[in-house]
Amino acid sequence: NAGVTQTPKFQVLKTGQSMTLQCAQDMNHEYMSWYRQDPGMGLRLIHYSVGAGITDQGEVPNGYNVSRSTTEDFPLRLLSAAPSQTSVYFCASSPRIVYEQYFGPGTRLTVT
Amino acid sequence: AQTVTQSQPEMSVQEAETVTLSCTYDTSESDYYLFWYKQPPSRQMILVIRQEAYKQQNATENRFSVNFQKAAKSFSLKISDSQLGDAAMYFCAYRSAGTSGTYKYIFGTGTRLKVLA
């Protein structure tokens, strides 16, 4: 199993550009989520999904969109990047019964 | 709303010694899960240990153990025989057991652990 994979590992965007951060898992996990990590603030939940076709907002959803058309994939879309979205982004997944999360390696995003 | 507080931004420990990282949380729920995650310089988040709130017995995983005080809403992590590879950022996290219909994890702000040779 590859576990949770994220692409790209690094990305630089200009203000106003759009992009999609990819996340995939091959463990047939029902739950998937996106976090951003900023210095001194821990991990904050952006969006999450409890199954294909079902998504919900987390703590900091503004400026981000998600969809979950398959169990495996959970992309995060930035519609119009802003410098405040400069951060490290983590995708995570977990099965229904076991409650710990499995994290991807993260994407470092810089918006100039 | 639930909150998780890690009041120690940074801790240091001598190699082979024992260190305790603190975590407190606030919740009105009776059933939940608590976790400690480790984030080394590689940035990868790794589960260290988990504790179910309904269990009175403290969880242990090799050199890692917790002191779970449900009434005090405290969940500290003890690392025994510290090794250089333990140097990392440690995050405490809370997850509802789902009775309220939420899946959300709440993370603390982290404690950076330095291990001195």
DSSP line for chain B: --EEE---SEEEEETTS-EEE--EEE-S-SSEEEEEEEE-TT---EEEEEEETT--SPPEETTEEEEEETTTTEEEEEE-S--GGG-EEEEEEEEE-STTS---EEE---EEEEEE-
3-state secondary structure B23-39: CEEECCCCCEEEEEEEE
Residue A61's pLDDT band (cuts 50, 70, 90): very high
The pLDDT assigned to A111 comes to: 97
* Most A CBs within 10 Å, among B21, B103, B107, B109, to test the A interface: B103
Could you read off the pLDDT of A78-104 as tens digits, one per residue?
A: 999 999 999 999 999 998 766 789 999
Q: Name the residue of chain B whose CA is nearest to A103's CA.
A: B45
* Most A CBs within 10 Å, among B105, B107, B109, to test the A interface: B105
- Residues in A touching B47 (Cβ below 8 Å): 100-101
SS3 content of chain A, % helix, strand, coil (to 5): 5, 50, 45
- Those residues whose C-beta lies under 8 Å from the C-beta of residue B81, and which sit 6 or more positions away, are B16, B17, B18, B63
The answer to whether the beta carbons of residues B7 and B24 sit under 8 Å apart is yes
CB atoms A92 and B107 under 8 Å: no
The pLDDT assigned to B101 comes to: 53
In this complex, which of B33, B97, B109 lies closest to A42 when CB atoms are compared? B109
Pick the closest to residue B93 from A108, A94, A63 (CA basis).
Answer: A94
The pLDDT assigned to A100 comes to: 84
Could you read off the pLDDT of A65-75 as tens digits, one per residue?
A: 999 999 999 99
In this complex, which of B43, B95, B109 lies closest to A106 when CB atoms are compared? B43
- pLDDT surpassing 90 at residue A109: yes
Residues of chain B falling short of pLDDT 70 = 98-103
How far is residue A56's CA from residue B4's CA, in Å, rounded to a whole number?
A: 21
In this complex, which of A43, A58, A99 lies closest to B95 when CB atoms are compared? A99
Instruction: Tell me which amino acid residue B97 is.
Output: A
- Residues in A touching B109 (Cβ below 8 Å): 40-42
How far is residue B82's CA from residue B16's CA, in Å, rounded to a whole number?
A: 5
H or E stretch at A49: strand A43-51
Token pair for B106: 């709440």
Pick the closest to residue A72 from A5, A10, A7 (CA basis).
Answer: A5
Could you read off the pLDDT of A9-46 as tens digits, one per residue?
A: 999 999 999 999 999 999 999 999 999 999 888 899 99
